[in-house]
């Protein structure tokens, strides 16, 4: 079923653009939410600095990468310089302090893949997850935010794709579908591939930002204000891009051989990455290279059952974008 169809986009696609833009606008968090987040962050900062005066709190994930919807949870990273700390101990200690600080639903999950403390602030009704020294996530958050500044169509497309994935139940890594982070990378890759390109490849340009985290060198061009208007030679509308995005993942992506790579601004072959065989639980049925942890395939959570669910959802979305009278409603119908 792959690459069998090269269908032309429907002629009336731009009639749908207003509806997609309105959906995007409705998902943007209002300013007052941002100030509540700041308020909670200040409260947490006060609690943390009592025990660890040199530690710092960083917001990462959807509240900091500009791809967050209204009412998102906050992801926070507690960065402690001391290399000898025991993460579980820190998290248990932190949970204790938060509890005494009147935060609610405090829970330390020390055995999770990324160990965290969960909490809810009764004052702002915001929930958040705090992890320790996950600095790579802070850096990849900056990369996503920087890409989003270059062309507004990235944020618009990613909002529609995330909203679709959440509505259709394919944004659940514990069920073998993809994380929001993976979907945003798919959008960036897709916009790098448009002709003319809507996004550049920041990691392929002169590095103006460079940090080394967990022995991984993270370097890229981050002076994105110099890149405003980069995609202006491409006049595609949001509706056209949504159509083409689903068409790509339904009918054009070569699942058997290709890895999408935002880092290189193109696709790579699975052979080059040695992602051709199943190793342990990593099956590599859909391959999305992490931009910095390049040995990390964000598609590794996908198994032989969930790959079918995912591909059927891409095909459903592509059909809707091509034929439905009102795609912007039908696309998001609950499963």
The residues binding ligand CTP (CB under 6 A) are 60-62, 65, 67-69, 72, 75, 137, 140-141, 179-181, 298
* Minimum CB–partner distance for residue 62 and ligand CTP (Å): 3
Q: Name which position in 36, 61, 153, 154 contacts Mg ion (CB under 5 A).
A: 61
CB of 194 to ligand CTP, least distance (A): 23
DSSP assignment of 174-191 equals GGT---HHHHHHHHHHHH
Which of the listed partners (ligand CTP, Mg ion, none) does 65 bind, with a CB threshold of 5 to 8 Å by partner kind?
ligand CTP
At residue 268, what are phi and psi to the nearest 5 degrees? -120, 165
| Number of residue whose CB is nearest Mg ion | 61
Half-sphere exposure of 32 (CA within 13 A, CB side): 2
Are 251 and 321 a contacting pair, CB within 8 Å? no
Pairing of strands 116-121, 126-132: antiparallel
Question: Which of 180/203 has CB closer to Mg ion?
Answer: 180
Binding status of residue 62 toward Mg ion by CB under 5 A: yes
Which of 73/319 has CB closer to Mg ion? 73
Residue 303, classed as helix, strand or coil, is coil
Among residues 169, 310, 188, 199, the alpha carbon closest in space to that of 249 is found at 310
Q: Which does 262 bind (CB under 5 to 8 A by kind): Mg ion, ligand CTP, none?
A: none
Neighbours of 315 (CB within 10 A): 16
Residue 177, contacted partner among ligand CTP, Mg ion, none, CB below 5-8 A by kind: none
- The encoded tokens of residue 77 equal 């990273």
Please, what is the minimum distance in Å from the beta carbon of residue 142 to ligand CTP?
A: 9
Binding site for Mg ion (CB under 5 A): 61-62
């Amino acid at each position: 079923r792959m690459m069998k169809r090269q269908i032309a986009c429907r002629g009336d696609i731009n009639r749908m653009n207003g509806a997609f833009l309105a959906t995007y606008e409705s998902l943007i968090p209002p300013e007052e939410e941002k100030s509540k987040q700041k308020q909670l962050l200040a409260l947490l900062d006060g609690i943390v600095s009592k025990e660890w005066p040199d530690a710092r709190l960083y917001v990462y994930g959807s509240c900091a990468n500009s791809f967050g919807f209204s009412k998102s949870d906050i992801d926070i990273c507690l960065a402690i310089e001391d290399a000898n700390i025991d993460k579980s101990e820190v998290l248990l200690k932190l949970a204790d302090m938060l509890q005494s600080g009147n935060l609610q639903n405090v829970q330390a999950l020390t055995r999770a893949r990324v160990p965290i403390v969960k909490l809810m602030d009764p004052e702002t009704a915001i929930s958040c997850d705090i992890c320790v020294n996950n600095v790579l996530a802070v850096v990849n958050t900056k990369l996503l935010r920087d890409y989003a500044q270059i062309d507004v169509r990235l944020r618009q497309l990613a909002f529609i794709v995330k909203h679709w994935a959440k509505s259709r139940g394919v944004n659940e890594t514990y069920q073998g579908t993809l994380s929001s982070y993976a979907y945003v990378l798919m959008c960036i890759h897709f916009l790098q591939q448009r002709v003319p390109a809507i996004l550049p490849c920041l990691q392929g340009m002169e590095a103006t930002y460079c940090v080394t985290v967990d022995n991984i060198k993270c370097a890229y061009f981050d002076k994105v204000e110099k890149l405003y208007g980069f995609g202006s030679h491409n006049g595609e509308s949001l509706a056209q891009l949504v159509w083409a995005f689903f068409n790509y993942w339904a009918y054009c992506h070569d699942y058997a051989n290709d890895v999408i790579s935002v880092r290189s601004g193109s696709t790579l072959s699975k052979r080059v990455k040695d992602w051709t065989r199943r190793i342990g639980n990593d099956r590599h049925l859909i391959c999305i290279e992490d931009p910095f942890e390049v040995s990390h395939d964000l598609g590794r959570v996908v198994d032989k059952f969930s790959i079918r669910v995912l591909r059927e959802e891409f095909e459903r979305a592509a059909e809707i974008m091509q034929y439905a009278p009102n795609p912007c409603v039908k696309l998001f119908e609950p499963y």
